[in-house]
Amino acid sequence: MEFPKDLKYTREHEWVFTEDGVATVGITDFAQDSLGDIVFLELPEEDAEIKQSDIFGVVESVKAVSDIYAPVSGKIHEVNKDLADQPEVINEDPYEEGWLIKVKMSHEEELNDLLSAEEYEVFIREEA
């Protein structure tokens, strides 16, 4: 199981990478592994506003349907359109090619609410 140190994590199993006020968001290696083969993904439109902790999408796998929660608030800057035809990329590469959305953050201080890689790893162990 991979937990890149340069990312922040949520208790709902999303990851965040930030650069220049833009947050790239995806689901964690743990989440994709727990879900199994991902077969469908529903993501919002570009320019949509999202608020931290609100549901912004849905991921469907052979095992379950799960909501995806916004780790930060802001305006959706970009959506990974490649995933519409190839949702399995999330299983293959959750931290690079499998990113979901990019958000122009409206409240960067919300990043303080997220977990470090070490904290997320402890959270996963405790949840198991």
pLDDT, one tens digit for every residue, the chain (128 residues): 889 999 999 999 999 999 999 999 999 999 999 999 999 999 999 999 999 999 999 999 999 999 999 999 999 999 999 999 999 999 999 999 999 999 999 999 999 999 999 999 999 999 87
For residue 1, being part of any structural domain is answered with no
Domain containing residue 42: CATH number: 2.40.50.100
Q: How far, in whole angstroms, is CA 113 from its chain's centroid?
A: 15
State how far the Cα of 50 lies from the Cα of 53, in Å rounded to an integer. Answer: 9
Tell me the whole-structure pTM to 2 decimals. 0.96
How many alpha carbons fall within 13 Å on the CB side of residue 81?
4
For residue 128, being part of any structural domain is answered with no
Look at the chain and report how many structural domains it folds into. 1
For residue 80, being part of any structural domain is answered with yes
Tokens read off for 16: 């965040």
For residue 125, being part of any structural domain is answered with no
